Structure 1
Amino acid sequence: MSMTMAEKILAKSAGLKETSAGEIVMANIDVAMTHDLTGPLSVKSFQKIGVEKVWDPEKIVVLFDHQVPADSLEAAQNHMFMREFVEKQEITNFYDVREGVCHQVLPEKGHVVPGEVIVGTDSHTCTHGALGAFATGIGSTDMAMVFTTGKLWFKVPETIKFEIEGKLGQHVYSKDVVLNIIGQIGSDGATYQA
């Protein structure tokens, strides 16, 4: 049986020979990313679990890019809280204020590798799929489980195939093509699909 890219990546990550759309798999996480806005809730959820150390501090990436510089006392306290977590957990992949936007920093620093499973507490994490990874946004409680076990369950997504023919006209770009597709399928037309 031939598999799609998403099916192949999730099968490999789950230690399976094959998988298909709709199946539930428990996948090993290669990279877990959180940032200054969603990270504090993930860490507080992790602390409630009662585990002392994260599963692998070298596979966790923490970035400050949403409330930088801190625009409120709460944001400044969240920055301090996250810095303490990074230090206590010995997380080596910490990118502080002014080091870049999370979805640019991850590939630029080599954290996005084709064939790997990447999760992040940000809805735009899926952009790393353009680099050949299975990447998706997750919630803070899911990230707490990733911090604890290094695993997360996934429903293997359906894959959408678009066939685009012809040449783009003058002043028409790839973004125009994507916006046209979104106009046809709707803004939620590819939810939980690859």
Structure 2
Amino acid sequence: MGKTFIQKIFEQKMGKPVNEGEIVFVQPDYILTHDNSAAIIKKLSQVKEGIKVKYPDRIVIVLDHVIPAASAKTANNHKEIREFVKAQHITHFYDIGRGICHQVLPEMGLAKPGSIIVGSDSHTCTYGAFGAFSTGIDRTEAAGIWITGDTWFKIPQSYKITLEGRFQQRV
């Protein structure tokens, strides 16, 4: 059987062949977070004061989940995120009113064929519709990628599925 969609993307990114079941380390093209970035920033400050992100141009933060701020705590979280974005020189920041994160990435040309995108949201996988490999991660993993610039993946096993018979109309 030929290479899978995921193998092709990871081989292009790594510049070498990859096999099913292999664990690989790669630098995602983009790391998406949203209003939950405040929690990620707090995790980073617990590790070390004044810590710097490795690739500020790969971090995408979209304020879209809790808008307008429903409480003083949420408003303060948004303020902390804006301050962090400025201090870290994060180029892909989309403040309140710019759109929903899963529409913003494609509209801004960030979700494209062959890219690797991770995000601290379960709907991050929607970028597969644009030919990208994308998957959800948790906040701790996002914090780690912000600092190290990379993460690991296990190249998934593929399965061949053969359908027999006739489909009903419109299937």
Alignment partners' CA distance in 1, 2:160 and 2:83? 45
Instruction: Indicate if the aligned counterparts of 1:3 and 1:18 stay in contact, CA closer than 8 A.
Output: no
Alignment partners' CA distance in 2, 1:160 and 1:110? 32
Please name the residue that 1:40 is paired with.
38
Once the two structures are overlaid, the 10-residue window that deviates more, 152-161 or 109-118, is 152-161
Q: Secondary structure at the match of 2:111?
A: coil
With over 3 angstroms needed to count, the CA separation of the structure-2 counterparts of 1:75 and 1:163, relative to structure 1, is: farther
With over 3 angstroms needed to count, the CA separation of the structure-2 counterparts of 1:80 and 1:9, relative to structure 1, is: same
Please name the residue that 1:21 is paired with.
20
With over 3 angstroms needed to count, the CA separation of the structure-2 counterparts of 1:105 and 1:48, relative to structure 1, is: same
Q: Give per-residue Cα distances to partners, 1:48-92, cap 9 Å, x unaligned.
A: 333632111111111001000011122111101111110110111
Q: Secondary structure at the match of 1:62?
A: strand
- TM-score, normalisation: structure 2: 0.88
Instruction: Indicate if the aligned counterparts of 1:29 and 1:150 stay in contact, CA closer than 8 A.
Output: yes
Instruction: Indicate if the aligned counterparts of 1:34 and 1:61 stay in contact, CA closer than 8 A.
Output: yes
User: What are the within-5 Å matches in structure 2 for residues 147-158 of structure 1?
Assistant: 147-158=146-157
Letter in 1 for 2:111: V
Letter in 1 for 2:43: S
Letter in 1 for 2:154: K
Alignment partners' CA distance in 2, 1:161 and 1:67? 42
Q: Secondary structure at the match of 1:70?
A: coil
Q: Give the alignment's Cα RMSD to 1 decimal.
A: 2.1
- TM-score, normalisation: structure 1: 0.78
Alignment partners' CA distance in 2, 1:149 and 1:62? 18
Please name the residue that 1:189 is paired with.
none
Letter in 2 for 1:32: I
Gaps of at least 5 residues in structure 1 are 170-176, 178-194
Equivalences, count = 168
- Give 1:157 shift: 2.1
Gaps of at least 5 residues in structure 2 are none
Please name the residue that 2:98 is paired with.
99
Instruction: Indicate if the aligned counterparts of 2:53 and 2:88 stay in contact, CA closer than 8 A.
Output: yes
Alignment partners' CA distance in 2, 1:105 and 1:60? 13
Quick one: percent identity of the two aligned structures? 45
Letter in 1 for 2:41: V
